[in-house]
C-alpha cells in the first residue's frame, strides 16, 4: 500500500530531465524554504534544535520500545512546557540512507499521522523529499487543525523509523517551510498558526491515535472539507490552493499501522510521581499489543472508542458529559469542568485549576458494557509550577477547566480530557482500528489502561 502511494505521489518526477523542468519536479522542500527559514542555501540547515542523542540519554532500543521523556521541550521554546512526552524519530528519504534523527517529537494519542517541522530538517534531506501531487502534477498541501491552532505545509513521503520499527515510504506532513500562502479555509478554522518549533511546542509530532488515516472518508469523498487537504497551483508564493479530495493511500496515516509488525497499537508507560511532580521524567513507548512478551493486554480495562474517538464519562457522580471522554497524551492536564474547583488567576497558571488544598476527585468511564472509576488528584497549578524552583516538568495532578467557568458541568463544550497526568503510574493502550488484538473485534478500536 505504501509503495503504491509513493508511486502515485512521485509519478510526475520519474521522467528524467524534461519532466524535471516542470514546476513541480524541480520544487523541493529546500527551495520552498528560502523565504521562511533564513535565506540562502543553508536555509534549512540544522539549527540548535537539530539531531541529538535520544531524549533521556538512554541507549536507543532496537526492538519495539522507544524512550519517552517528559521534559521542557526542544531548544528554542519560549513558553513553559509541562507534561509533554517526547520521543526521537529518524526519517529518511524513501529507500535511501539520507536520514536525519529528530529529537523532541511529541507523542500524541489524540491525532494520527507523522509531522515534522520543516525548519529542523537539514538541506540534504529536505532536498530529497519530494512533494506529493495529484494527477495534474499539482502539489498537495495539508492543513492540520487542532483545537488550539493549525499547521500548514506540504505532504511528502519518507521512511519513518523509531526504536526498531520502520514505516516505509510513509506519507508525512512537513509543517511550515513553504512560500505557499495559507488558504483562508485553513487559517479560519482555529486560533493560532503553529508552524514553527516555538509555536508548535515540538520538532514534530507522532500521531498514534486509533485512526488509521488522519482524515479518512471525510477527505477521500467529495465535497472536500476546508481545513484538511489542498491541491495548489504550484509551490511558490504565487501558488493558490483549493480544498482537495485526497485518496486514502495518499493521506497521512498513523505510522504504527504501516509497521510490518507490532502494528496493531501502542502502549505508553510512565512512572508514578510524587504529588509535587518530577523533572525530566522518562518512560516508554511500546509498539504492538500482544505481539511480544512486553506488550500483553492482560487484565487492562478496555474502553471501546466510538467513531469520534470518545467514550462515556462523568465527573464526581454527575450526569454523563455531553461530549464524553477521551484519553490524550497530547493534553498536558486533566481537562474537565467542576463547579467546586477554583480557576487560577495568576499569569503563569491561567487556564488551570488552583484549589486551596490538594483535592481528590473521581471520574466514571464506561463503554461497551465496561465501567471503571478513575481516582485522581488536583493540586494547585500555582503550587506545582513553583515547586523545585520551577524546574518540574511532569505532574500527575495538574488539571484545568474545559468549559465556561461558572457554567454547568454538563455544558456544551464539555469533555473529560484524560491528559498526561492520567498516564503516570499506568500503562495506557491505544489499539488502532482495523487491526486485531486479544480483546476481540467487537471492542476495536479502543483505549485500555492498567
Partner 1 sequence: MKTPLLLMTTGLLCSRAALATLGGDVTSVESDRVHMKAARLTPSSPSALYTVHEMQTPAGTTVREFANADGIVFAVSWKGPFQPDLRQALGTYFDEYKTAPRARRYGHSHDIVEQPGLVVHSTGHMRSFAGIAYVPQLIPAGMALSQFAERAP
Give least dist CB 151 to partner 1, A. Answer: 9
> Binders of partner 1: how many residues, by CB under 8 A?
70
Give least dist CB 18 to partner 1, A. Answer: 41
- Which of 90, 218, 276, 280 binds partner 1 (CB under 8 A)? It is 218
What x-and-dash track marks residues 274-293 binding partner 1 by CB under 8 A?
--------------------
Cβ neighbours for 394, distance < 8 A, ≥ 6 positions apart: 70, 82, 83, 270, 273, 277, 278, 279, 280, 281, 420, 424
Q: Exposed, middle or buried, 179 (CB in 10 Å: 0-12/13-18/19+)?
A: middle
Q: What are the cell numbers at 443?
A: 471492542
DSSP labels for 367-380? ETTEEEEEEEEE--
User: Beta partners for 302?
Assistant: 448
- 72 sits near partner 1 (criterion: CB under 8 A): no
- 195 sits near partner 1 (criterion: CB under 8 A): no
- 309 sits near partner 1 (criterion: CB under 8 A): yes
Cβ neighbours for 61, distance < 8 A, ≥ 6 positions apart: 67, 163, 164
Task: For the segment 129-148, give every residue that binds partner 1 (CB under 8 A).
Answer: 145-148
CB 435 within 8 A of CB 257: yes
CB 387 within 8 A of CB 398: no
Q: What are the cell numbers at 422?
A: 492520567
- 330 sits near partner 1 (criterion: CB under 8 A): yes
- Which of 257, 326, 422, 424 binds partner 1 (CB under 8 A)? It is 326
Task: For the segment 416-435, give every residue that binds partner 1 (CB under 8 A).
Answer: 417, 419-420
Give least dist CB 179 to partner 1, A. Answer: 22
Cβ neighbours for 371, distance < 8 A, ≥ 6 positions apart: 364, 365
What x-and-dash track marks residues 235-274 binding partner 1 by CB under 8 A?
----------------------------------------
Cβ neighbours for 1, distance < 8 A, ≥ 6 positions apart: 249, 258
Task: For the segment 394-413, give every residue that binds partner 1 (CB under 8 A).
Answer: 400-404, 406-408, 410-413
- 319 sits near partner 1 (criterion: CB under 8 A): no
Rank residues 152 and 415 by Cβ distance to partner 1 and give the closer one. 415
**Rounded CA separation 272/323 (Å):** 29
| Interacting residue ranges for partner 1, rule: CB under 8 A | 79-84, 108, 110-112, 145-149, 184-185, 187-192, 194, 201, 207, 209, 211, 214, 218, 223, 225-228, 307-310, 323, 326, 328, 330-333, 335, 347-352, 400-404, 406-408, 410-415, 417, 419-420
Amino acid at each position: 500500500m505504501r509503495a503504491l502511494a509513493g508511486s502515485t505521489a512521485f509519478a510526475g518526477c520519474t521522467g528524467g530531465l524534461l519532466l524535471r523542468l516542470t514546476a513541480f519536479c524541480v520544487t523541493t522542500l529546500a527551495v520552498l524554504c528560502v523565504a521562511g527559514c533564513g535565506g540562502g542555501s543553508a536555509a534549512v540547515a540544522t539549527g540548535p534544535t537539530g539531531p541529538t542523542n535520544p531524549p533521556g540519554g538512554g541507549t536507543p532500543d532496537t526492538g519495539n520500545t522507544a524512550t519517552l521523556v517528559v521534559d521542557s521541550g526542544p531548544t528554542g521554546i519560549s513558553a513553559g512546557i509541562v507534561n509533554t512526552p517526547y520521543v526521537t524519530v529518524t526519517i529518511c528519504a524513501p529507500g535511501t540512507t539520507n536520514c536525519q534523527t529528530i529529537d523532541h517529537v511529541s507523542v500524541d494519542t489524540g491525532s494520527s499521522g507523522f509531522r515534522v517541522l520543516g525548519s529542523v530538517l537539514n538541506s540534504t534531506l529536505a532536498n530529497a523529499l519530494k512533494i506529493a501531487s495529484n494527477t495534474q502534477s499539482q502539489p498537495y498541501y495539508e492543513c492540520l487543525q487542532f483545537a488550539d491552532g493549525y499547521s500548514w505545509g506540504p505532504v511528502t513521503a519518507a521512511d519513518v523509523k523509531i526504536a526498531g520499527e520502520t514505516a516505509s515510504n510513509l506519507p508525512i506532513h512537513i509543517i511550515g517551510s513553504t512560500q505557499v500562502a495559507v488558504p483562508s479555509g485553513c487559517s479560519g478554522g482555529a486560533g493560532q498558526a503553529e508552524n514553527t518549533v516555538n509555536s508548535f511546542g515540538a520538532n514534530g509530532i507522532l500521531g498514534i491515535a486509533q485512526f488509521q488515516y488522519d482524515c479518512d472518508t471525510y477527505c477521500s469523498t467529495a465535497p472536500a472539507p476546508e481545513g484538511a487537504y489542498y491541491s495548489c497551483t504550484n509551490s511558490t508564493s504565487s501558488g493558490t490552493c483549493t480544498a482537495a479530495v485526497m485518496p486514502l493511500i495518499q493521506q497521512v496515516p498513523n505510522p504504527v499501522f504501516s509497521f510490518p509488525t507490532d502494528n496493531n497499537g501502542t502502549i505508553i508507560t510512565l512512572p508514578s510521581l510524587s504529588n509535587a511532580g518530577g523533572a525530566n521524567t522518562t518512560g516508554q513507548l511500546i509498539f504492538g499489543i500482544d505481539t511480544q512478551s512486553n506488550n500483553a493486554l492482560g487484565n487492562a480495562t478496555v474502553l471501546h472508542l466510538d467513531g469520534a474517538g470518545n467514550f462515556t464519562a462523568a465527573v464526581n457522580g454527575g450526569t454523563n458529559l455531553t461530549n464524553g471522554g477521551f484519553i490524550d497524551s497530547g493534553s498536558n492536564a486533566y481537562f474537565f469542568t467542576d463547579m467546586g474547583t477554583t480557576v487560577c488567576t495568576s499569569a503563569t497558571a491561567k487556564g488551570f485549576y488552583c484549589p486551596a488544598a490538594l483535592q481528590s476527585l473521581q471520574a466514571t468511564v464506561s463503554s461497551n458494557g465496561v465501567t471503571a472509576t478513575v481516582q485522581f488528584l488536583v493540586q494547585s497549578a500555582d503550587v506545582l509550577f513553583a515547586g523545585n524552583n520551577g524546574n518540574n516538568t511532569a505532574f500527575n495532578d495538574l488539571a484545568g477547566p474545559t468549559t465556561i467557568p461558572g457554567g454547568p458541568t454538563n455544558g456544551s463544550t464539555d469533555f473529560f480530557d484524560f491528559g498526561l497526568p492520567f498516564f503516570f503510574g499506568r500503562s495506557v493502550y491505544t489499539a488502532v482500528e482495523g487491526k486485531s488484538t486479544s480483546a476481540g473485534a467487537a471492542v476495536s478500536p479502543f483505549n485500555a489502561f492498567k
